[in-house]
Amino acid sequence: MSATGSELLVRVAFAIGIGCLAMSALLATIALLLRAAARRRARRARRVEARWRPLLAASVHALPALPALAPRDLDPFLAVWLPMQEALRGDARDALNRVARWVGADVLARARLARRSARARLPAVAMLGHLGDAAAAPALAALMRGDGPVSLAAAQALLRIDRAAALPDVVALAAARRDWAIARLLVVLREVPATALADALAASIHHHLQPPRQRELSRLLRLAAIADPSRIEPVVRRVLDEVAAPAARAAALARVRHPAFVHHARAALLDPDGRVRAAGADALARIGAATDHAALCAALDDPDDRVRDAATSALGRLASPLAA
């Protein structure tokens, strides 16, 4: 390498080193400014919360004199209002809703729906649902069909605003949207009365019995865990009699509670698919008899770990034939 090359190398090293240090100083400054801004926001939020917490608590009994709510105070206001809303019932909840409307929080929340950030929109969506704000329904319906966590929150809000109108749409989307995790859907649908949910799910399951729609059956059947079992049983029977897809059959077996399904459960123990065999063993734990003891003992040697687990659990719950 020439002397010129050597000098160039030194210059490159210097330039990169100095550049990195300068960039580091810039990043550190940005971080410090962010921290200072966050501290100011936190101080303001604490003041707003300290002002609104006693007012909201007092509103449960009588409407106090209320200050104006500035748009930038919506988040700290909701940080107090939402947990109170979720903790209260009946007239106390209505009183909180009156306060929110009186100070214009509903207007601010509707305006917030146009923001891009999910974390900015979510509290507003939750508030509009609690308020039963029908004016926000079209915007919420559009959000429900969009992406991300706001879509599920919008579904929950629409169910709170008008359950009868929203439930069929929510169930239809719940069947198809793989990004709506079952665990999260159960939280949303838990607010729907078990009979209404069962009817909506049963109607949707009927619609999905024919291929190629059978993919959604297992999701719908898993959601039926919180529905009225007596109203779900007819469709469960149809799934077990007519559908071959293992995921759907396993999900259907998870819903059986009535002894009339026991022959389905016994047949499932011999299914080629491990999920179905495991679901069959689980079902026998609920509706089986002492005569199923032998079959469950045989399942202890199943090559599928899930089946062995389910059989172990089922044997622990069934009476032993020796006890008779």
Contact set with another protein (CB under 8 A): 1, 5-6, 9-14, 16-21, 23-24, 27-28, 30-32, 34-35, 38, 82, 117-119, 122-123, 126, 148-150, 152-153, 179, 181-184, 186-187, 190, 305-306, 308-309, 312
Residue closer to another protein (CB basis): 238 or 306: 306
Residue closer to another protein (CB basis): 18 or 63: 18
**280 closest CA partner among 305, 300, 258, 307:** 307
Residue closer to another protein (CB basis): 86 or 242: 86
Q: What does the alpha-carbon distance between residue 221 and residue 242 come to, in Å, rounded to a whole number?
A: 15
Shortest Å distance, C-beta 118 to another protein: 4
Shortest Å distance, C-beta 277 to another protein: 14
User: Tokens for 184?
Assistant: 């999260």
Q: Do 144 and 179 meet the contact criterion of CB atoms below 8 Å apart?
A: no
- List CB contacts of 232: < 8 A, sequence separation 6 or more: 198, 201, 202, 224, 255
Residue closer to another protein (CB basis): 204 or 218: 218
Shortest Å distance, C-beta 21 to another protein: 5
Shortest Å distance, C-beta 142 to another protein: 18
Shortest Å distance, C-beta 55 to another protein: 23
Residue closer to another protein (CB basis): 117 or 212: 117
**77 closest CA partner among 58, 107, 41, 51:** 51
| Cβ burial, residue 266 (10 Å; 0-12/13-18/19+) | middle
Dihedral of CA atoms 81, 83, 86, 88 in degrees, nearest 10, equals: -70
Helix (H) or strand (E) holding 228: none
